[in-house]
Amino acid sequence: MTIYPAIDIKGGRCVRLTQGRADQETIYAENPAEVAAGFRATGSAWVHVVDLDGAFAGEPQNLEAVQAIASLGMKVQLGGGLRTRASVERALGFGVSRVVIGTRAAESAAFVGELVQAFGEKIAVGIDAKNGQVAVKGWVSTADLSALTLARRMDALGVATLIHTDIGTDGMLTGPNFPAQEAMLAAGKFRVIASGGVSRREDVVKLAALARSHSNLDGVIVGKALYEKRVDLPDLLALARAG
């Protein structure tokens, strides 16, 4: 299982939002690349980056900061505003290892299919769920589509990786929505990266146990709990390695 420490970028700075709300922002660092360098120093190979401005604007806004992170030699998984092929190509050209398609995946299966044909496993789909329904456009609106239905459509297209975020737990430090994650794991052949709610070491222990019974649980994204020092990244990485 892979631990994906998270960096959310807004206005060029490292922030966290509570349940994706732009008016519930906490600034943790002025320089996201410095935060990523800290993750790398503790042994993390991956970093999950979200361009929050891009998610709200519909076009990446912080690629300079993303490029600075990629230049550290880390594998960058990037989401936020990637709604055209040109923006996807630009991000990959900046050294991003995997891009996450969110809003456009809910709107156009054909768009995702085209990207999977062109870029293969470099394309992941982010499914952000609010009460089981897909949330889009920076979580400000909900599509008339269930998360599991969208997951099955993506599976049929050959999408290799899904990032499943439960909005109700995101940034709340209340623990993951385990039943929702288990339902997603059972929905297809894709790998699932769980996101939302990790608040303590025991949450990751439980996810590691889930990964032993569900081989397609690829990993977990950890954000606010790291910044609030509720969990220790080297300890989580050791847990993940131990399986």
Residue 169 has pLDDT above 80, yes or no: no
Whichever domain contains 199, its CATH number is 3.20.20.70
Residue 84 has pLDDT above 80, yes or no: yes
Q: pLDDT band for position 170 (50/70/90)?
A: low
> What is the rounded distance in angstroms from the CA atom of residue 171 to the CA atom of residue 177?
13
Residue 134 placed within a domain: yes
Instruction: Check if the beta carbon of residue 187 is closer than 8 Å to that of residue 148.
Output: yes
Residue 214 placed within a domain: yes
* Over residues 158-185, mean pLDDT: 88
pLDDT tens-place string over residues 122-153: 999 999 998 888 987 656 566 789 999 999 99
* Over residues 153-159, mean pLDDT: 97
pLDDT tens-place string over residues 173-188: 778 999 999 999 999 9
Residue 93 placed within a domain: yes
Q: Domain range for residue 51?
A: 2-238
Q: Can you give the pLDDT at residue 131?
A: 85
Residue 49 has pLDDT above 80, yes or no: yes
What's 32-46 look like in SS3?
HHHHHHHHHHCCCCE
120: left (phi over 0), alpha (psi -120 to 50) or beta: left
23 included as an active-site residue: no
Q: Can you give the pLDDT at residue 37?
A: 98
Residue 230 placed within a domain: yes
Burial class (CB in 10 A: 0-12, 13-18, 19+), 24: exposed
Q: Can you give the pLDDT at residue 175?
A: 86
128 included as an active-site residue: yes
| Number of domains into which the chain is organized | 1
Residue 243 placed within a domain: no
Residue 114 placed within a domain: yes
Residue 127 placed within a domain: yes
Residue 65 placed within a domain: yes
Q: Which residue among 51, 53, 128, 170 is the active-site one? A: 128
Region of poorest pLDDT, from 105-114, 168-177, 209-218: 168-177
